[in-house]
Chains A and B, each alone.
Chain A
């Protein structure tokens, strides 16, 4: 069992149904697998930040991680 903190940003929260949540997972997963679990299809361009660093979809989620998922931003 691993525990992570998950933060969803901007309009992606209307797809996941939540903005911030503590999540328990039976085993470590990749970011890609995590996205499927929270109903975020990989069609929309997204930025994944794991513990403050941008990572790709193959990155493994570890116990205690803080994962932030946001759409792309281009600065108004």
Chain B
């Protein structure tokens, strides 16, 4: 095998035992890497019904066949486990030097099992794997932890670590890797914490075996150069992801006040222009030539990296329009190791529930200092922080009083920063995203405004969602590379496909990746169904409030408009039809056979009937 190393490490924390194992070429070609590996391994190795925070859960850290090579955006890793937040399968994609170092150490993935008796860190250097006590860094935030590890191992090593939130098993804690880089929204950091694993440090010194090194070097460097040229021409990274905020405000899709409102007159105070003017540093992932991480000084004069999602969820959604204060909230989430999107969603839901009289409390929208106190209480699971650490879905169950209608989550994962009360296709994208309400696999708001009309529930919208899921996940999260150059500056995705072919010696085209994507999507769905045998289509619906006419905007450009239930049903049916899933949203037998998922089909049939 070339491109892939064909090796992985199985690390058992209970026994402090490490096995170096090989996997087959067939497995590599069928699942490619990244999300594909995570999905298949966890399907095969996790028994249904296990406690996601128990030692039976496994943490998979997976690379792709182009990870670590000199080519555009190859410095990312996939992390996955059974999610403690959603109860389904969960994963995330993180910019990290681990992508390079683990590949050079000679491995394509790690499977981490069991639970350490006391806090541990793992240090992998090529063939050696060592366990160290992490008691000196347990309890530290991610900034101090990273600095402590940098001092000990140098800045060039790859690191994955958690903050206090992960240690204390907050259900939406993430894994942090380097400056501003974090991922694993569905509580993958809590899984790491539940295993008493504080950090994974990786150093590799080997050559990466490549099928066609000259071809890869040529296309890789050309791709990096083209990416830089395109970004310079377009000017995208001047504001990075934050450039979209004021546009969403104009088109009435900004999350404001727990997504009850779609725009705000003060949104300009936290928009991309203000962020860019406040920039004091720029961060990026390894092997990227269009760095998007803009770091600004927060209220306490600390350096905080801000992105659109963070500003949307911790700013406008909380009605906080003071940029340094929003940056402070962002910094605290990063330091505690909390997912910024879910943290923003949880705080907004809490303020909303208090305002509606569903629960007693003193937190209101527009209160950054109280929001900071609450983030700390969440990270340490203190006072009302215990409730807030559960995420909006569980909070709504406890609060009751009809609060479920405005708990802005799907499948237990908080909706990221796009308010879809009148954006049907994007509501579908959120509702069918494999991990719960996240935008990483499909985002179609521009399509809905320019290629069709906003109020349409046409089949083309379902087709567009699936087209994007096949590219954004099926290609970029398997080979693994960042999707942003293709998404934001239109770097031709053929660069990445050619990198894959040169690395592996194969000759895949986009059609091949579409099949891999559909296979992963179906198995991912099968995992959820196996955990929830009474699965039905209600799992694929956005929150009730987006259908509620009483929640319609009373001014602006979408007065009186909300999603329409019957038409959404039809849109969801179109989606299922294209995916060859039944009306419950479960893959049909025939489609599983076509996707070479016969064994998985037999396993799934033990839990539910298939059509």
Q: B-contacting residues of A (Cβ < 8 Å)?
A: 7, 9-11, 13-15, 19, 44, 47, 49, 51-54, 68, 70-76
Q: How distant is B420 from chain A, measured CB to nearest CB, in Å?
A: 12
B560 at the interface (CB under 8 A from A): no
Cβ 8 A contact of A9, one of B236, B243, B308, B444: B243
Q: Which A residues lie within 8 Å of B246 (CB)?
A: 7, 9-10
**Docked-complex contact B418 and A73, CB < 8 angstroms:** no
**Docked-complex contact A14 and B235, CB < 8 angstroms:** yes
Q: Which B residues lie within 8 Å of A15 (CB)?
A: 235
Closest 10 A/B residue pairs (Cβ): A75-B443, A52-B557, A10-B243, A11-B235, A74-B487, A70-B247, A68-B250, A76-B241, A73-B244, A11-B238
Q: How distant is B313 from chain A, measured CB to nearest CB, in Å?
A: 13
B239 at the interface (CB under 8 A from A): yes
B358 at the interface (CB under 8 A from A): no
Cβ 8 A contact of B244, one of A44, A53, A76: A76
Among B475-490, those with CB < 8 Å from A are 484, 487-488
Q: A-contacting residues of B (Cβ < 8 Å)?
A: 234-236, 238-239, 241, 243-244, 246-247, 250-252, 272-273, 307-309, 418, 439, 443-446, 449-450, 484, 487-488, 556-558
CA of A23 to CA of B443 in the docked complex: distance in angstroms?
34
Interface core residue of A68, A73, A75 (most chain B CB under 10 Å): A75
Q: How distant is A17 from chain B, measured CB to nearest CB, in Å?
A: 12
CA of A68 to CA of B252 in the docked complex: distance in angstroms?
13
**Docked-complex contact A11 and B487, CB < 8 angstroms:** no
**Docked-complex contact A11 and B308, CB < 8 angstroms:** no
**Docked-complex contact B443 and A74, CB < 8 angstroms:** yes
Whether A74 contacts B446 in the complex (CB less than 8 A), given A10-B246, A11-B243, comes out as yes
CA of A73 to CA of B418 in the docked complex: distance in angstroms?
13
**Docked-complex contact A7 and B250, CB < 8 angstroms:** yes
CA of A14 to CA of B247 in the docked complex: distance in angstroms?
16
Q: Which A residues lie within 8 Å of B273 (CB)?
A: 13, 19
Q: Which A residues lie within 8 Å of B557 (CB)?
A: 51-53
**Docked-complex contact A73 and B247, CB < 8 angstroms:** yes
CA of A75 to CA of B441 in the docked complex: distance in angstroms?
10
Whether A75 contacts B446 in the complex (CB less than 8 A), given A7-B250, A9-B250, A70-B250, comes out as yes
**Docked-complex contact A49 and B243, CB < 8 angstroms:** no
- For this complex, 23 residue pairs linking A to B, each with C-beta atoms less than 8 Å apart, are A9-B247, A9-B250, A9-B272, A10-B246, A11-B236, A47-B446, A52-B556, A54-B449, A68-B247, A71-B234, A72-B446, A73-B243, A73-B244, A73-B247, A74-B446, A74-B487, A75-B418, A75-B444, A75-B446, A75-B487, A76-B439, A76-B487, A76-B488
Q: How distant is A67 from chain B, measured CB to nearest CB, in Å?
A: 10
Cβ 8 A contact of B309, one of A54, A70, A72, A76: A76
Whether A76 contacts B443 in the complex (CB less than 8 A), given A10-B272, A53-B557, comes out as yes
CA of A60 to CA of B235 in the docked complex: distance in angstroms?
28
Q: Which A residues lie within 8 Å of B446 (CB)?
A: 47, 72-75
**Docked-complex contact B244 and A10, CB < 8 angstroms:** yes
Q: Which A residues lie within 8 Å of B309 (CB)?
A: 76
Q: How distant is A8 from chain B, measured CB to nearest CB, in Å?
A: 9
Cβ 8 A contact of A44, one of B234, B307, B445: B234
Whether A10 contacts B484 in the complex (CB less than 8 A), given A53-B557, A54-B450, A73-B446, comes out as no
CA of A38 to CA of B29 in the docked complex: distance in angstroms?
52
**Docked-complex contact B445 and A75, CB < 8 angstroms:** yes
CA of A44 to CA of B243 in the docked complex: distance in angstroms?
16
